[in-house]
Amino acid sequence: MNPEFAVSLIRQSLLLALWLGAPLLLVGFVVGALVSLFQVATSIQDSSVGTVPRLAALLGAFLLLLPWMLSRLMAYCIGILGDLGRYAR
């Protein structure tokens, strides 16, 4: 395995991690901003008012995105394990 190939493999891994994590981070950011605006507008400063909606939104997004995330991850793993002989050289 030459250095260019190793760099390419690590790059693919990091890009996959970015694509798998980005939707959940985006949902968490949007819901967090909306909850913060709601708290400012209503002057409610209870920590559970901010935490529970964010956790519920992240759980819902995770359950909705899970099939897509698993298909991307499985395609990556099949690609890696399918060319395992090429990596061992």
Q: What is the pLDDT of residues 20-74, one digit of tens each?
A: 999 999 999 999 999 999 998 988 888 888 899 999 999 999 999 999 999 999 9
Q: How confident is the model at residue 18 (pLDDT cuts 50, 70, 90)?
A: very high
Indicate the pTM of the whole model.
0.79
Segment 8-20 mean pLDDT:
94
Euclidean distance between CA atoms 58 and 39, whole angstroms: 19
Cβ atoms of 38 and 54 within 8 Å: the answer is no
Segment 8-19 mean pLDDT:
94
